[in-house]
Every structure is written in C-alpha cells, then in structure tokens.
Amino acid sequence: MAEIQDYLTEYGKRLRDVRRILDISQKDFAGQLNVSPSFLSEIESGKTKPGYNFLLKLAAVFDVNPAWLLLGKGAMFFKTDEQASSIANDEFGDHTESIKELLWYFKHSPLVKLSVMAFASKFLLDNEDIIKRDIERNQQKDEK
C-alpha cells in the first residue's frame, strides 16, 4: 500500500510542477481540464488517483507527456511541430538536443525565461574578460 501512496504522491508533485511551470492557478488549470479545483487539489496532494480521461485531457490541452507524468520518464512536454520548426536550423554540436529543449521551454515559460536571463546576465558580467578571450581564441582557431 505504501508503494501506491508513494506513486500517487510523486504523480501529484509532477502534476503540480506542470501547473507551476505553465504559471496557471489551480482553479484555472482545473477549469481547463473540466474538473473541480478540489479534485485537482486531491490529485496534487496524492490523495486521489486520476483516471485515464484526465490523463488524455492533460496531454491534449497542455501537451504534457503522459510518460513523464506517470513515470517521470522523458520530457515534461511533447515536442510540438512549432518547437521543431522554430529551432530546426540551429546546430549546437553535441548539445543540440538539450539546447533545443531549453529554447522551447524558454519560449513557453516565463519562469524559465526569467531564470535563464538572470543567470546569463550575472554570468556574462562576472566573466566578461574570460568570455572575450575564449571567443578570440576560437576565432583564431577557425581562421587557421
């Protein structure tokens, strides 16, 4: 029984993470899924097991990856055609897929956008000279 409760608790946490990343109130999120806010609250707290229809609706309305929600496997959201086409021409070497996923989250989540910008601004200010030297070294290598 403890295993089922642990599973429901983790499922609820992942669902809450989705809602928070989308920056949607519990009431609005529930409304878009056609469930009551109290039902959503019970799912998020691990007290209630959602049904198959709830999972389908969540995937259809918010593009949530059911494998991630149920098992914590894969990306939180499906990669949409919009995501693929908007960054398909960019290449970042070995990190291309990770960068593409980050850019998609950056585009769709104000939380990610603010966090990345805050980190990047501080990093650039703190390391400006090192970054300039690194760019110059790489440009010299490319010219040879």
Q: How many helical (H) and strand (E) elements, i.e. helices and strands, does the chain have?
A: 9, 0
CATH 1.10.260.40 fits 2-71, yes or no: yes
Q: Is-contact 6 71, C-beta < 8 A?
A: no
Provide the 3-class DSSP secondary structure of residue 80: coil
**How far from chain centre, in Å, is Cα 144?**
40
Closest CA to 101 of 67, 65, 61: 65
Q: Which two tokens stand for residue 95?
A: 């990190």
Q: Is the pLDDT of residue 38 over 60?
A: yes
Per residue in 109-133, pLDDT (tens digit) is 888 888 888 887 888 888 888 988 9
Q: Is the pLDDT of residue 89 over 50?
A: no
Q: For the CA atoms of 79, 82, 83, 87, what is the dihedral angle to 10 degrees?
A: 150
| Domain chopping of the chain, boundaries | 2-71, 79-108, 115-144
Q: Where does the pLDDT of residue 87 fall: very low under 50, low under 70, confident under 90, or very high at 90 and above?
A: very low
Q: Phi and psi for 110 in degrees, rounded to 5?
A: -60, -35
Does the global pTM surpass 0.85? no
What is the mean predicted confidence (pLDDT) over 34-58?
Answer: 91
Share of the chain above pLDDT 90, in %: 24
